[in-house]
Amino acid sequence: MTESVKLSELTQALNLEIVTGNDEAMDRSVFTSDISRPGLELTGYFSYYSNDRLQLFGNKEITFAQRMMPEERLMILRRLCSDETPGFIVSRNLPVPEEMIQACQEHQIAILRSKASTSRLLGEMSSYLDEQLATRTSVHGVLVDVYGLGVLIQGDSGIGKSETALELIKRGHRLIADDRVDVYKKDDLNLVGEPPKILEHLIEIRGIGIIDVMNLFGASAVRGSMQVQLVVYLENWAKDKKYDRLGTSDETVNIGSVDVPQIKIPVKTGRNVAIIIEVAAMNYRARSMGYDATKAFEERLSRLIEENSSN
């Protein structure tokens, strides 16, 4: 199914003024985050006109249109209107030409207006549409905001992901999504996770059932979305398996075509997994800022070996 955004949704999200547009016009869908500034089209050049994009009129476009004869202006604006055109948007609270209103009303196309500058409005619309139109993928796990770091907790069913997340929430961290996380690419390097609407603020604890985190712990215990920066995979402790004790392995997991750093934590009785995840998040942030405890240890070890060799 092709992702789309209703013009009415865009209007509400960016607090736009409706200059003209009935229910049918506001029900039109936007299918692309690309925005068109029809400067060349106002001169009569329509060979590469992108009629499926939102048409943004800034100071240059409005000033140029105002210098045209009324008949020519109406003719050009009528050509800008098509069955595929989602809508016209005017920035800087600029006056809307009567011919634009007439042409849009003839084709049931809405005209919206914003107080924002053209460049700022362009950025806000592109950012909003990129997010809303991004293809979403569902992954199994629990997404938690730990010290401002988006940590996705994964593992086998029944290993205690939700219980660990609940302990983290009690320790002051925030829940984004439990059981199922909808993820989308913000750009080529960044992945964002959010809860499905039906599971928002909810967490399932075996033996208790479903609990509402915001109702029990307050609004500060939940968050609507978060960048997925670290994956923690919980696995059952195996006596004969060798685990990374120095932190030298740099594993990643591919989610939604983005490689995300992953660490594996063995789970057994007596280990406080929530505290370990807190430390893992702090250690990851420290490494991101240039400090690597593993390298520091290796440097100390090398110096010690050199000192012993020289004696």
Binding residues for ATP: 155-162
CA dist 58 and 133 (Å) reads 24
Bridge-based pairing state of the strands 17-20 and 110-113: antiparallel
Annotated binding residues, written as ranges, equal: 155-162, 204
* CA–CA separation, 274 and 164 (whole Å): 5
The three-state secondary structure class of 310 is: helix
Check: CB of residue 91 under 8 Å from CB of residue 114. yes
Residue 145 region by backbone torsions, left for phi larger than 0, else alpha for psi between -120 and 50, else beta: beta
> Residue type for 29, please?
S
- Which residues make up each annotated binding site for Mg(2+)? 162, 204
Helices (H) and strands (E) in the chain, counts: 11, 19
Give 216's DSSP letter: H
For Cα atoms 151, 157, 162, give the angle at the middle one, nearest 5 degrees: 45
Residues recognised as catalytic: 140, 161, 179, 245
- Indicate the residue type of 305: I
SS3 154: strand
> Largest alpha-carbon pair distance within the chain?
96
The Cα–Cα gap between 232 and 300 comes to 28
Give the strand pairing for 191-194 and 209-212: unpaired
Measured CA to CA, the distance from residue 28 to residue 8 in angstroms comes to: 8
